[in-house]
Amino acid sequence: MHPPTYSEAAIALQEEISRLVVTEGDPYPSLVAGLDAAYARDGRTVFGAAALLTFPSLEFVEGAWAACEIAFPYIPGLFAFREGPALIEALGRLAHTPDLLIVDGHGIAHPRRCGIASHIGVVTGIPSIGVAKHLLCGTAATPDEGRGSTAPVIEGGETIGCAVRTAAGVRPVYVSVGHRTCLAAAVRLVLASSDGYRVSEPIRAAHALAARARERGDGPGGAFILRNSLRGQYERRGRGEGRYDAERDPEDLGDALRHLRSHP
């Protein structure tokens, strides 16, 4: 018998994790974390970011990111093994524990019912939702044009997610249960956090953080975090301690996020 390949071992673990996914729950969070990742230009490093926002007001509280060397090949359906380590590391660097995770990627709308949102939800124990821009499996009709219109994602007669129109006139996103929530609650929470844009605000904020980390170019040996406190100061860790005043820092994260909100 030959030893399992990367993909065979990962699929076996994914199938095991899928049995632990809970597809029930109706969270009413106070703090929501968006999770997203960006890749270095050379494809050797992934930057995972976690952005923590209040809910339902969607005010930015803090953000964190971590850079990890990519140790798993590019295989569709197995992104949790490429991006998951950096995302979980970033999540662990937040000063506050979120009540809900909204992840850029799929939950159970996945061939093995265990996308990255389910994987991270089970590993952390935090309720999670997957929000993706494209389907990985299953089919869905096109929702009506109005905000809040939905259409089920179906595979093999099973509803595994929902196509959701988060804003009038934009393409739908594909929402699925990650862990410890039901589909109706997942759709409700994604719509409540979308703030008039196609992509929900927590994921937009995490995307900005991941992109900023990539621009700074920190490598896998220098995992770091940048937090924006409510007093407008920054704390940076990993390569020494320092304080950054938002008024003096030319890379003001608060300004970046405000710019992002005004430029969809």
* Strand order across the beta sheet in which 45-54 lies: 60-69, 45-54, 31-39, 100-104, 128-132, 173-179, 158-164, 150-155, 139-140
Q: Which two tokens stand for residue 210?
A: 């991941």
**Domain spans in the chain, listed from the N-terminal domain onward:** 22-262
* pLDDT at residue 218, as a whole number: 52
* pLDDT at residue 162, as a whole number: 98
What whole-number distance in Å separates Cα of residue 20 and Cα of residue 15?
9
Q: Which two tokens stand for residue 233?
A: 């100061």
- Which among 254, 217, 224 is positioned nearest to 241, based on CA atoms? 224
With a cut of 50, list the residues of the chain below it in pLDDT. Answer: 1-2, 219-264
pTM tops 0.95: no
End-to-end CA separation in angstroms for the chain: 53
Rg (CA), the chain: 18
Residue 12 contacts by C-beta under 8 Å, 6 or more apart in sequence? 4
Residue 125 contacts by C-beta under 8 Å, 6 or more apart in sequence? 180
What SS3 string covers the chain? Answer: CCCCCHHHHHHHHHHHHHCCCCCCCCCCCCEEEEEEEEECCCCCEEEEEEEEEECCCCCEEEEEEEEEECCCCCCCCCCHHHHHHHHHHHHHCCCCCCCEEEEEECCCCCCCCCCHHHHHHHHHCCCEEEEECCCCCCEECCCCCCCCCEEEEEECCEEEEEEECCCCCCCCEEEEEEECCCHHHHHHHHHHCCCCCCCCHHHHHHHHHHHHHHHHCCCCCCCCEEEECCCCEEEEECCCCEEEECCCCCCCHHHHHHHHHHCC
Residues in the chain: 264
* pLDDT at residue 42, as a whole number: 87
* pLDDT at residue 227, as a whole number: 37
* Architecture label for domain 22-262: 2-Layer Sandwich (3.30)
